[in-house]
Structure formats: C-alpha cells, structure tokens
Amino acid sequence: MTTTSSSRSILKRGALLAGAATLGIGLAAGLADGALKFDHPAFAQPIQLSGVQTNLPSFADMVEKVKPAVVSVRVKQKIDGAEETDGQGSLDDLPPGLRRFFEQQMPRSANPGRPQPRQGMAQGSGFFVSQDGYVVTNNHVVDKAAEVQLVTDDGKTLSAKVIGTDPRTDLALLKVNESGNYPFVQLATAKPRIGDWVLAVGNPFGLGGTVTAGIVSAQGRDIGSGPYDDFLQIDAAVNRGNSGGPTFNQKGEVVGVNTAIYSPSGGNVGIAFAVPAATVEQVVAALKKDGTVARGFIGVAIQPVTSEVADAIGLKDAHGALVASAERDGPAARAGIRRGDTIISVDGEQIKDARDLSRKIAKYAPGAKAKITIWRDGKERDLSFEVGKQPAA
C-alpha cells in the first residue's frame, strides 16, 4: 500500500490533534484559573502551584507548649524470684485482646533452681501537673518500684519518689526529689466531645517525646479492668511506653491519661483508652493529701435492670441497680435497703445502671450523708444513708 503526501499529511495532523487532545485533558482543569504551569516542550515554565490552601489542623504550636511537661518514666523494680514472668507483665486480669502496657524487662535468673531477689525494669510516660514537681503516671508503671527516674524532654534525668498509687483507676502520683520550677500542664475542666481532635505525647517503645494525633472515638467505655471503668476511647496511635502519658485537647489541656490499648498483637490498632481528666483530678488530690484514695462504700451486691426486670417490677424504663443482697451490718442494710430493692437515684441524681451506682457512691467521702431513692413494691421510697468506707481488698 502506498501512502500519498496528502494522506501522510492527514496522519500527521491526526497525530498532532490526538497529542493535543491528550495534553488538553491534563491542562483543562489546571489552566482554568491560570494557576498551573507545566514543564512541557510546549511551555517554557515548570509546574507551579500558587495559592494552595488546606484546612488540615497543625498541632505544632500546641506541641511546643506542652511537650516540655511530658517525661519518660524509668522504674527499677524489686521482683521476688518466685514470680517468674515472660517480661510482658500479667494479662490474666484483662479480657482477651486487651493489653496493658507492661514494659517490664525482667532478666531470667542465672540459677533458675534457686528463687532469689532480682530487679526488673519498667518504662512508661508521665507529665508534670504542678510547678513544684508533682508528676502523674500509671500505677502499673511504678508498681513495686525500688527506684524511679524521670527523663525530661531536654534529656535531663531526675530522681523521683512515689507519693501514692490507686490500683483501681491505675493512677499514681510521683514527686521529683530535686526542687525547682518545672513546666506543667493543666487538667481539662470540660469533657471532650466525640469527634474532637486530641494529641497523645509519650515514650512509645522507649522513643521519648513522641507525638501522635487522632480523635475521641467514644466515651464511658467499660473494658472490664475494674468497678470504676469510665474510659475515653481515642484513635491516636498509642503503644507500649505511652502508659501514663497525657492526651491533650486543642487547648493544650489534659483530657485523659493513657492506660490501655485493645490489640490482638500488643501493638497499636487505633483503639486506646484513657482515664478521664475528672477522675484524674479527684484521685491526684486524694493521693497528694493522704497518699491513698478513700472511697465511699454501699455494701450491696447489685445487678443490672433489664427491660424485662423493669416490666416485672413496674418501672417505666430500664434504669437503676437491682439489689441482689445487702451485706449484713453494712451501710445499705443499716439504711434499710434489702434484697429486691432497686436503687434509682442518689441525692436526686438518677442511677443509669449498676456501674453508675458504684461510681457515684465511690465519690462520697466515708461518713458522708446521702439520700438514696429506691423502688419497692411499685413505688419510690427515700432512705437516709451514711456512706461507708470501702475495704482495702
């Protein structure tokens, strides 16, 4: 087949048109407002983007402000030789998949046949809550501590002592031995909303001064770690070593203390739990004053009020705590509360469920007076109640 000059000309024009069309697809959007220039033989200037704006948040200013108040916590522990461990801490008291950040690196005994005292190591995070050197961290980070050291953001190492611990909320209060003026952060007074941006700062895997960002995923989480579970759930990346570290809101206030993650592997999967600031404030105040936390006690075995139970006892909706038994000579029994009663409010505050009752009573000081409203025989009754002291065990 021969090709005439006319047909060759048509082919060339067709190729040029096809090339221009292909190039035009890429140019159409970019040249619409004259903001883009392309590095192409047809153009003299390289690609340039002008006037680009984004609405993504930057935490840089806030990080500069709060990061100096966050410390790495290093703990030497006295470990009894009979307490063998795999170096990760015991997880038996937690639901499947839930991992506390036990950072214990416990060397095996050189003579396994002879139990002997030895030292373990734990790592975590903490943060200053006062200028004179009080530091908040997790109880499990400083458990069985023989020596505590804090490493500041600028690399300075400080010795500290344990002022008090509260295993029930997994919080601990430390105090730097060396006097000085330390950078500190405030606890938030307002509860964060689901969807709010938060920032976690800590010492994951021993990498101090690490910052991660995410949002508040949920509130009021019960992870089965204790009777006062009321955790914030966040999706900021949190790993081993973040234990005891703070979670900040965008104002640079601490909204929670990181304490646990949900993970099949032990690493971050975007589900972390933090003790809310309101709980931290109460516990820290008690630890600073007395070195321990004295909680109110009611002395009942309770169970939830299901919709079926509510229908059976005549309640309009399912709320309150059903009393399965009242401890003999306990605070509830002395107030006249008995098996089959449903506790529906304390001092006028409605009780949502059994866990809510435990938390509300725990906030009262032992010996305080309260009014408890119960549902019995199809009607409400008010009882005067003296709060007892929760047993240590």
Phi then psi for residue 194, to 5 deg, are -65, 125
Q: In whole angstroms, what is the distance from residue 361 CA to residue 369 CA?
A: 11
Residue 5 appears among annotated catalytic residues: no
- The full DSSP string for 124-172 is EEEEE-STT-EEEE-HHHHTTEEEEEEE-TTS-EEEEEEEEEETTTTEE
Q: Nearest to residue 198, comparing CAs of 129, 143, 276?
A: 276
Residues comprising the chain, all counted: 393
Give me the half-sphere count of Cα atoms (radius 13 Å) on the Cβ side of residue 284. 23
Q: Nearest to residue 353, comparing CAs of 362, 343, 361, 366?
A: 343
Task: Choose, from 166, 170, 229, 341, the residue flagged as catalytic.
Answer: 170
Amino acid symbol at 376: R
Helix (H) or strand (E) holding 32: none
Task: At 155, list the tokens.
Answer: 């690399």
Handedness of CA 337, 283, 74, 99 (dihedral sign): positive
Beta carbons of 371 and 383 less than 8 angstroms apart? yes
Q: In terms of DSSP bridges, do strands 254-262 and 369-376 run parallel, antiparallel, or are they unpaired?
A: unpaired
Residue 33 appears among annotated catalytic residues: no
Residue 243 appears among annotated catalytic residues: yes
Task: Choose, from 72, 225, 243, 263, the residue flagged as catalytic.
Answer: 243
Beta carbons of 175 and 133 less than 8 angstroms apart? yes
- Helices H / strands E in the chain, number of each: 7, 21
Task: Choose, from 72, 140, 143, 358, the residue flagged as catalytic.
Answer: 140
Task: At 126, list the tokens.
Answer: 């903490």
Q: Nearest to residue 96, comparing CAs of 262, 274, 332?
A: 262
Q: What phi-psi label fits residue 261: left (phi over 0), alpha (psi between -120 and 50 degrees) or beta?
A: beta
H helical segments located in the chain = 5-30, 60-66, 139-142, 277-290, 307-313, 331-335, 354-362
Helix (H) or strand (E) holding 337: none
Residues with active-site annotation: 140, 170, 243
